[in-house]
Amino acid sequence: MRGLSKIFKAMDASGNNKLECEEFRNGLGEFGIDVTPEDCQAMMKRLDTNHDGCVDFQEFLRALKGDLNAARLDVIKRAYAKLDANGDGTVKLDDIAQLYDASKHPAVHAGSLSERAVFM
């Protein structure tokens, strides 16, 4: 994922988190993929799912990875439902705090880093 993000940012010459056709074409050229302006427009049309004339990172990812299959989408929905403790449709830090118990974490049992540093 980080690698794809770096590639996208390198292609995004304007720094607006979107690829215009010329940026996309130049970026492909950097990878040795030469496309005509017409072919680039055709690719952009397929990738630009929100039809704003640019390709954002989510559209870029979807094009490379494809959509989630039903099984992966189901796992994500179940995990989100578990995190959304109060069922309001949003996950906030308080929701996660209700579910996460750090008392069994090894660092908690060993004392904090600053306490251990005093005894070294």
Instruction: Give the model confidence (pLDDT) of 84-94 as tens digits.
Output: 877 888 888 87
Domain ranges of the chain: 2-65, 70-118
**CA–CA distance, 114 with 107 (Å, rounded to integer):** 11
Q: How open is the CA angle 51-16-42, to the nearest 5 degrees?
A: 35
pLDDT score recorded for residue 116? 46
Sign of the four-CA dihedral 35, 19, 6, 64: negative
What one-character-per-residue DSSP string does 39-51 give? HHHHHHHHH-TT-
Q: Confidence class of residue 108 from pLDDT cuts 50, 70 and 90?
A: low
Q: Which of 5-14, 75-84, 93-102, 107-116 has the weakest average pLDDT?
A: 107-116
**What would the pLDDT profile of 46-69 be if each residue is shown by its tens digit?**
999 999 999 999 998 888 777 778
**CA–CA distance, 72 with 64 (Å, rounded to integer):** 17
Note the pTM of the prediction, 2 decimals.
0.54
pLDDT score recorded for residue 111? 55
Instruction: Count CB neighbours of 50 within 10 A.
Output: 10
**CA–CA distance, 69 with 95 (Å, rounded to integer):** 27
**CA–CA distance, 94 with 81 (Å, rounded to integer):** 14
Domain 2-65 class, CATH top level = mainly alpha
Q: Are 67 and 47 in contact (CB under 8 A)?
A: no
Q: In 1-120, which ranges are E strands?
A: 18-19, 55-56
Q: Confidence class of residue 95 from pLDDT cuts 50, 70 and 90?
A: confident
What is the average per-residue pLDDT within 72-78? 85
